[in-house]
Structure 1
Amino acid sequence: MTRFDAATDTERRQLFAEAITAHRKRDSEFLTIEPDELPPESTEELTPWIQFSDTTVSMDCTDDELDRLKGLLDSYPEFRAESLESPEEAEGTHAEITARSDANRLAMFIDEAFQTVYGYESTYKAWVVAI
C-alpha cells in the first residue's frame, strides 16, 4: 500500500480492498477505517469508525444507524449480524458482523456502510488509520 486515504467511490473501495489484503497478509490484529470528518448533519461528537478483523466487521451505531445497518445487511446475504451489544452505560449498540467474503466485497460493504448507515455523501474522504 502506498496511500492511506481516498475520496471517491472507486478510490475508497480500492483503498479498502488493498488494506484488507494487507491486513490478511500481515495477519494483523485488526484494520480500522475512519472518515476524515463527522457526517453532514451529525449530532454526534465522535467520528464513526469501522474495524475489520479476520472475518468480523465491527462498528458502533445509534438506534437509527442500527436500523439502517440491518437494512444494508439485507443486500449482503453472505454477511450476518453475530452480536449486537447495547451496554447500559453506553448510548447505542456495538455491532459485530460475520463477513466471509473477498476483499472487494468487504470494501464495497464498508463504503456503503459509511454512506448508508452513517449518512456520508459519496464524496467523503476516508483514511485507513490502522492495519
Structure 2
Amino acid sequence: MKQIVGKLLITVFAILTAIVIYFFIYYSNNQDVNDVKVEGYVFGSNDEPLKNVRVTIVNERYENDNGLKNYDEYLGQDKIELITDSTGYYSTLLKKSAYVYILLQKDGYKPIEEKGKQAKKSLFFKTKMH
C-alpha cells in the first residue's frame, strides 16, 4: 500500500511540476517587447527598389493604451504608415510590441500583406511586389 501511495505522490508531483514549467514558459514568451525596430526593403518584380510604396505597419500589443494587460490576447493595436525612400527602404521604432505584420500598397502593383512576426528587438522584412 505504501508503494502505491508513493508512486501516486511522485506522479502527482511530476504532473504539477510540468504544469508550472508550461505556464512559466508560456508567460515568459507572451510579453510585449520594448523598443522594437521594424525595417525593410521593397523591390519590384525585376529586383529594382520601389520608392513611394505605402507601408502600413500593424503592431499588436498585449497591453492596451490604458495600461491593462492580458497575455492571452492582444488588447492594443497601432497602425503606422510610412513611405519607402528611393532605395525602397522604410523603418520605424515601436515602443511596445508583441506581433507585427506589414501591408504594402503601390499603384500598378498587387497589394501585399507580409506574414506577421513575433516581436523581438529587431524585425526585418524584404518584400517583392508584382
Common fold, TM-score beyond 0.5? no
TM-score (norm 1): 0.27
Larger gyration radius, structure 1 or structure 2: 2
Pick 1 or 2: higher relative contact order, CA cutoff 8 A, min separation 6: 1
TM-score (norm 2): 0.27
